[in-house]
A and B are shown apart, each in its own frame.
Chain A
Amino acid sequence: MTTIDTHVTSTPATAGPGLASIGAWVTTTDHKRIGRLYLGSTAVAFLAAASVALLLGIERISPTREWLSVGSLTQLFALQRFGLTYLVLLPLMVGAAVAIVPLQVGARSLAFPRLAAAGFWAWLLGAALAIFSLVNNGGPGGGDRVFVDLFLLAVGIVAAGLLATVISVMTTILTARAPGMNMRRVPFFTWSVLVFSLTVVVALPVLIGNLLYLYVGHKFPSLSGLSSNLALDGVAGAAFSQPTTILFALPVFGFLAETVATSTRQRLRPRGIIFTAIGLVGVAVFATVIQSAVTLRPAFLDLSLSEKLRDLVPFALVHGLPLLGAFLAVALAAKGLATKPKVSAPLVFGLFAALLALLAVAANALAHIGDAGLIGTTFEEGNWLALVFAAVLATMGAVAYWGPKLWGPSLATKAALPLALLAFAGAALSSLALMVAGFADQAGGVFPSIVTGTEPIVAFDYSGPMTLWNTANAAGIALVLLAVLVFVALSLRTFIKGDAAGDDPWDGLTLEWATTSPAPYDNFVDVHIVQSAEPLLDLKPSNRSDA
């Protein structure tokens, strides 16, 4: 099925003064605007959630220094986990996909654009309600019954909103591709978004179902385990942790392949293997569906052969295959870099993001080996943080790369490159520090409940070099925050006051570079015929490295 959406019947939303402009944004069905709404809102959410993570990092530096009230720590950990996963990691990828995928596949609009827009507003409403409930003693471990209920409802609304937008994006890829663009010819980023969408369509409803159980259980109390205000961790905690969160960061690998192909101006090969590698990362969705941790039992080597196989086969499926896929995706893209790449900010952001994601996928496999003794430690948190920061770096790269198509001007590589280095250094420092602390048995958890007594005892105290690793973690988060803040400021200045970058500033290979910058409301004047995976490279033989 290779078709293109031509049903753009609504008129372009024109920006006017005051309320008219706000109304145009609120009612927009333009995928580029919906994507920008996601990215803008997520930038604000990141600054807030990462600030909470920084506060918690500082709090953990020393057991005697208590900046924060012990009573609020459970809520703050919940805010950090929920915020960075469902208000940052997933919506960043969804926002980038909504903004770019229709341009990449040559569609004039999203399929079901109103559904995508409704998804965004539902997500925003759910996010506001969730934060409101956490502030009012709701959420996991919360003391106010009404606000605990509200938090469960709000997380459900957030998930439903994101799901609605993802369905819209997935349908666009399946039905609105330009003539000639079969599945083997879709750009790498679009392919990764398709795999991402497939897995999200399976993973998010599982979370919503469990939230429904918890909501009914908590609303109508009994001795049921579902009535506990801490039940979220046990029943739905998997949706906030690895390997589910690996699925949420899947487009990172597609973005790397995309930027490598553009930077080297070559047909990145073997295309089928790269597609398969990205698909293998998505196999982790099986772990989400079965809703139980797949681990190698402690003393694995002492087990009988049949018992070893019983552990090893599911482990290889849900942890081994994604690791193989992530490694292949990064390795094949890196192989492409052997041929004189033009170093650009998007390429560096993409490379760093993919390295972080690969680290997280590898760490996830390690965390599920029983003999490593990492379950219940901060190793999981470091692993999760690496994925969140991978998505943040990839989105910064996406803004640098596709900024001209969304806003017009282009970010200066000289200004953006140091930020990529700074953000990567911070991300690696913060996540690795927590992983090392996990090896030293610093206690952690998805929604850790803080033990309180006559003497406040925080669960993360341990006898190892606590100050060193927690200081490194806090410093790393501070560096990422600083990098993102400067990047947002740079982007605002460039996109508001900068000069137009031209239609094809990167000498790109894919369809989005065949339209004007910024792209018009309905993306393309003509319906284009695609005859290869790199349609623009066919027209630019002088740039072909393989010509």
Chain B
Amino acid sequence: MIALPSAPAPSARRQLLVGTAVACAALAALLGGMLATWLRMRQQSIDTTGSWMPDGVEIPLVPANIMLLGFIPIGVFAQWAVYSAKRQDRSHTGLALGLVALLGVAVINAQANIYAQMMLPASAGAAADGTFNTMFYAITGVMTVMLVIGVVFSAITAFRYLGGRTVDREIVSAHAMYWYFLSFAFAMLWFVVYVTK
């Protein structure tokens, strides 16, 4: 066997952060692809029938806007968690992570409220073109799943950190990055699905 020179102790890795970044890139491609298909189908529908949304359907903008605004404090609290973790401040880190999770649940609740207010039938039946219905549930459903993953990520981060792994701060940074990504992703979705319609 060939003897190459040996190295000193390996330097610190940032695998979790890089892995989260790659996963965020994949999720961005997922949502970006879905938004692109949404816009294409919307244009096709407008070209052929002159409309996109079914008659009588209205998207409640108040909860949609509240969802968007909710991401501002989420970003602040996620960064607060990173700041506190760097200072080894367990109580503030835990509080910040808890607030992120709580606001995440609130955003999910707002999405549920939108579904309840719209009462959009998933199955439009054989007499109606249900493309909007189908695509609305699919794309907002994907966003909701991504939010649920974010809340679970917050919970795991809090349990690990509060459980004593205070040296392992990388997960707190990765957690913050994931929520920043979600903020960006929801802003895109909000503009295309809720504002442009």
> Chain A residues in contact with chain B, CB under 8 A?
1-7, 111-112, 163, 167-168, 170-171, 174-176, 178-180, 201-210, 212-213, 215-217, 220-227, 235, 289-292, 503-504, 511, 513-516, 526-531, 535-536, 539-540
Residues in B14-37 with C-beta less than 8 Å from chain A: 14-15, 18-19, 22-23, 25-27, 29-34, 36-37
A515–B29 alpha-carbon span in the complex (Å)? 38
Closest to A197 in B: B22
Stretch at the interface among B82-90, B107-115, B118-126: B118-126
- B26 adjacent to A224 (CB under 8 Å): no
Q: Contacts A170-B22, A223-B128 known; A208 to B30 CB distance under 8 Å?
A: yes
Is B167 at the interface (CB under 8 A from chain A)? no
Minimal beta-carbon separation of B170 from chain A (angstroms): 11
* Inter-chain contact B23/A529, CB cutoff 8 Å: no
Residues of A within 8 A of B7 (CB): 4, 178-180, 526-529
The verdict on B57 contacting chain A, using a C-beta distance below 8 Å, is no
Q: Can you show 8 pairs from A to B with CB atoms below 8 A apart? A: A171-B19, A171-B22, A179-B8, A204-B26, A206-B29, A209-B34, A227-B134, A529-B5
Within 8 Å CB of A210, what residues of B? 33-34, 37
- Contacting chain A: which of B70-78, B135-143, B177-185? B135-143
Given contacts A6-B10, A112-B19, A235-B37, contact A222 B128 (CB under 8 A): yes
Q: Given that A4-B10, A222-B134 are contacting pairs, would A539 and B22 also be in contact in the complex, using a CB cutoff of 8 Å?
A: no
Choice from B5, B15, B22, B124 contacting A176 with Cβ under 8 Å: B15
How distant is the Cα of A529 from the Cα of B19 in the complex, in angstroms?
24
A515 x B19 contact (CB < 8 A): no
**Cβ–Cβ contact A175 & B134, under 8 A:** no
How far, in Å, is B101 (CB) from chain A's closest CB? Answer: 23
Question: Is the CB–CB distance between A291 and B13 below 8 Å?
Answer: no
User: Which residues of chain B come closer than 8 Å to A513, judged between CB atoms?
Assistant: 2
Contacts of A529 in B (CB 8 A): 4-7
A167 adjacent to B23 (CB under 8 Å): yes
In Å, the complex CA distance between A291 and B125 comes to: 28
B131 interface hit (Cβ, 8 Å): yes
**Closest-CB distance, A186 to chain B (whole angstroms):** 15
Total number of A-B contacts with CB less than 8 angstroms?
Answer: 178
User: Top 4 nearest A-B pairs by Cβ distance?
Assistant: A222-B130, A206-B33, A205-B30, A222-B124
Tell me if B6 and A209 are in contact (CB < 8 A): no
How far is the CB of B11 from the nearest CB of chain A, in Å?
5
User: B126 to chain A: which residues have CB within 8 Å?
Assistant: 221-223
Residues of B within 8 A of A516 (CB): 1
Asked whether A526 lies within 8 Å of B6 as measured between CB atoms, the reply is: yes
Asked, given contacts A222-B125, A224-B131, whether A175 binds B13 with beta carbons under 8 Å apart, the answer is yes
Residues in chain B near residue A221, CB distance under 8 A: 123, 125-126, 130
- A175 lies within 8 A of B15 (CB): yes
Contact A535 B4 (CB under 8 A): yes
Which listed residue, A171, A530, A536, A539, touches B18 by the CB 8 Å rule? A171
The interface residues of chain B lying within 8 Å CB-to-CB of A289 are 29, 32-33, 36
Residue ranges of B at the interface with A (Cβ–Cβ < 8 Å)? 1-8, 10-15, 18-19, 22-23, 25-27, 29-34, 36-37, 40, 122-131, 133-135, 137-138, 141-142
B18 touches A216 (CB 8 A): no
- CB <8 Å contact, A216 and B34: no
Please give, as numbers and ranges, the residues of chain B lying within 8 Å of A504 by CB-CB distance. 1-2
Is there contact, CB below 8 Å, between B18 and A226?
A: no
CA distance A205 to B31 in the complex (A): 8
- A213→B138 contact, CB < 8 A: yes
Contact A5 B13 (CB under 8 A): yes
**Measured CA separation A235–B126 after assembly (Å):** 21
| Chain B: minimal CB distance from A299 (Å) | 24
Cβ contact of A225, chosen from B10, B34, B131, B133, cutoff 8 A: B131
Asked if B37 contacts A503 (CB within 8 A), the reply is: no
Known interface pairs A170-B22, A220-B134; A3-B123 also in contact (CB < 8 Å): no
Within the complex, the shortest CB–CB distance from B147 to chain A, in Å, comes to 16
Q: How far is the CA of A537 from the CA of B7 in the complex (A)?
A: 18
The CA of A168 and the CA of B16, in the complex, are separated in Å by 11
Q: Which of A203, A220, A291, A515 contacts B130 (CB under 8 A)?
A: A220
Q: Give chain A residues whose Cβ lies under 8 Å from the Cβ of B137.
A: 216, 220
Question: Which of A205, A216, A226, A503 contacts B26, CB < 8 Å?
Answer: A205
A515-B138 contact given A5-B15, A111-B19, A171-B19, CB 8 Å threshold = no
| Complex CA distance for A213 and B11, rounded to whole angstroms | 44
> What chain B residues lie within 8 Å of A205 (beta carbons)?
26-27, 29-30, 33
Given contacts A171-B22, A216-B141, A503-B1, 17 further A-B contacts (CB under 8 A): A3-B10, A168-B19, A175-B13, A201-B22, A206-B29, A209-B30, A212-B142, A213-B134, A220-B137, A224-B129, A224-B131, A226-B135, A235-B37, A292-B40, A503-B2, A526-B4, A528-B4
Given known contacts A163-B26, A216-B134, A209 and B19 CB-to-CB distance under 8 angstroms: no
Chain A proximity of B181: nearest CB distance (Å): 13
User: Which residues of chain A come closer than 8 Å to B22, judged between CB atoms?
Assistant: 167, 170-171, 174, 201
Bound Cα distance from A7 to B16, whole angstroms? 13
Distance of A493 Cα from B30 Cα, bound (Å) = 44
Residues A213 and B34 in contact in the complex (CB < 8 Å), given A205-B26, A224-B129:
yes
Max chain A C-beta neighbours (<10 A), residue from B29, B33, B37, B128:
B33
Residues of B within 8 Å of A170, CB to CB, are 22
Query: In the complex, which residues of chain B have a beta carbon less than 8 angstroms from the beta carbon of A227?
Result: 130, 134
Q: Nearest Cβ in chain A — how far from B72, in angstroms?
A: 27
- Contacts known (A217-B134, A220-B134, A539-B2); A291 close to B128, Cβ less than 8 A: no
The chain A residue with its CB closest to the CB of B137 is A216
Distance in angstroms from A535 CB to nearest chain B CB is 6
Q: Is the CB of B133 within 8 A of A209?
A: no
Residues of A within 8 A of B142 (CB): 209, 212
Q: Report the minimal beta-carbon distance from A476 to chain B, rounded to whole angstroms.
A: 35
A118, B30: Cα distance in complex, Å:
20
